[in-house]
Structure 1
């Protein structure tokens, strides 16, 4: 899966080729995964559901808020758009089967950018055996990408946010802090570790770890999109428990520590509140043998009766920074 080179297609714009030209040149050229029985071209797609149930998730990406074209290529945005949705499917213990994509775009958007976006979506979906099964396009003054992911539980019960119990351990799989580091470098126009910039532009969720955690007996699980503290707060709220994290338990790479030092940032701020790495966090019974790749970083306990007690703490205390991203303002 190699990113397309700039200028690999003609410099037509969407306004020049029109909606149906875009569909013919982009949507209908995407190879379909095994779950898609009818892909783009009809009024609706037909997707098989071997389990008899469908896991579904949707996300929006708005230019200027979730990505910038001067920072990321169309291909990278496509990878990111697919990844954040497919990670949600994995967080339920499922496997992605198909994507539906809505594109609102200005008429002067180059066709080459749209084709690169489609290639990124397709390549990321292919990592789990999924594909782009259909979608819609519309002219717009702003560039917006809406992705709906469909997935299959393969006969397993869904792992929700509401099943954690006091005594459970808290663990995560994947990477933490790298996307936040990459964003900081881009905002400061600084050089830094290539993994940081790469993960901010195109995260690499540990898709296989969702079903693995479900098979191992995870009691609660979610995708870390808004920051570990903020997202674990959802588990604590839905499960009526409290969670405490051990800051010494996080395996932090030297490159990340050194870059945080140069930026004057506490590296744990990136790890605990950064978000957009799309790692998975889960709770497990204490006697469970965790699948390889999971790191134990905390414990679940009874929720305190006092209403103002934090649901998620670090070494028994509230974390001083904001817990993560809130789409309508930091919280």
Structure 2
């Protein structure tokens, strides 16, 4: 049997290979990552015209896309980084509905000059992140084009027969809670752009690390609304509040004094206090989870209370975000442009 990872003979680049050979690389990577994976509801996996899985609960679906030059650069990220980032972004949206990620299908456009060894690394990065999310890659499509594009679709469900937590459920009096450490990805991008390529923040820009189990945990604890922070805390919180018809008031004293961000500000010659605040409030691509919980209810481990939901007023309408009682202009990460706005 031919080992798809053996490049001692045969084609070396996309231009010299066939679609079947590229698909075989991804299938092999998915199979390797799935070894020892708990039993799933998968009926038909890779190798047929489509995957088939059994569903006994609501199915949650989300798709994402990352484009070379907009969301990543090859001189900044390894092929494994690129594959992992694509899967993480799609899978995070499933967790943000309170669901468990199950399956990933991924469409790719690759450049003809790519080495097949790099394709193998990209496939391994994607399959490994899918495994970390509790999912497996079960299909996709591939073509070639002028730059690398990955468009994964994530599918999930509810182990206990629950239902999705929506953006529209936050109510006045609810407690706001946030997981993760916001701002590190944005700081990492600035550091890389300034020539400082190595470090914790830089690694988190290249590959976000969503805490997938915290989505279902929030749902089980009665979260009234839930989203992941991809466009910056202010922008995503404003979207949640606008959909729910409420106002949010963030308490900055609850934010972690993040040494990684303070060090980044020093390296970049910025005032640490203002730089850290701006990164934490507007930096995107962290993929922490932001939830609202009924007042007085238990907040699951992994979240920290960060504010409260309030009634709209004549001065502050739905979608307004206050920071320590003062309304803030909504700004954040524009994923369509790949930049802060």
* Same fold, judged at TM 0.5 (above): yes
- Mapping of 1:74-223 within 5 angstroms? 74-154=79-159, 155-190=161-196, 194-223=199-228
Distance 2:191 2:203 in 1: 11
Contact 1:103/1:143 (CA < 8 Å) preserved in 2?
Answer: yes
Contact 1:161/1:220 (CA < 8 Å) preserved in 2?
Answer: yes
Structure 1: state its 5+ residue gaps. Answer: 1-6
Query: Are residues 1:281 and 2:290 paired?
Result: yes
Match of residue 303 from structure 1:
312
Match of residue 44 from structure 1:
50
Alignment partner of 1:258 out of 258, 263, 269: 263
Give the Å deviation of 1:307: 7.4
Q: Which moved more, 1:121-130 or 1:225-234?
A: 121-130
Distance 1:9 1:201 in 2: 27
Deviations 1:16-71 (A, max 9, x none): 112111112333552255233212211111123232x2100000000011111111
Q: Which moved more, 1:89-98 or 1:39-48?
A: 39-48
Secondary structure (helix, strand or coil) at the match of 1:30 reads helix
TM-score (norm 2): 0.89
Secondary structure (helix, strand or coil) at the match of 2:169 reads coil
Match of residue 3 from structure 1:
none
Distance 2:54 2:256 in 1: 40
Q: What is the total number of aligned residue pairs between the two structures?
A: 323
Q: 1:130 to 1:309 in 2, by over 3 A?
A: closer
Give the Å deviation of 1:83: 0.8
Q: 1:24 to 1:65 in 2, by over 3 A?
A: same
Q: Which moved more, 1:217-226 or 1:243-252?
A: 243-252
Contact 2:168/2:243 (CA < 8 Å) preserved in 1?
Answer: yes
TM-score (norm 1): 0.91
Give the Å deviation of 1:190: 2.2
Give the Å deviation of 1:208: 0.9
Contact 2:246/2:318 (CA < 8 Å) preserved in 1?
Answer: no
Secondary structure (helix, strand or coil) at the match of 2:75 reads coil
Contact 1:218/1:285 (CA < 8 Å) preserved in 2?
Answer: yes
Secondary structure (helix, strand or coil) at the match of 2:65 reads strand
Structure 2: state its 5+ residue gaps. Answer: none
Distance 1:212 1:233 in 2: 23
Distance 1:198 1:150 in 2: 26
Contact 2:45/2:138 (CA < 8 Å) preserved in 1?
Answer: yes
Contact 1:219/1:285 (CA < 8 Å) preserved in 2?
Answer: yes
Alignment partner of 2:65 out of 51, 60, 69: 60
Distance 1:324 1:191 in 2: 21
Query: Are residues 1:27 and 2:33 paired?
Result: no
Q: 1:312 to 1:152 in 2, by over 3 A?
A: same
Distance 2:97 2:291 in 1: 10
Contact 1:76/1:201 (CA < 8 Å) preserved in 2?
Answer: yes
Distance 1:106 1:49 in 2: 36
Aligned-pair RMSD on alpha carbons?
A: 2.1
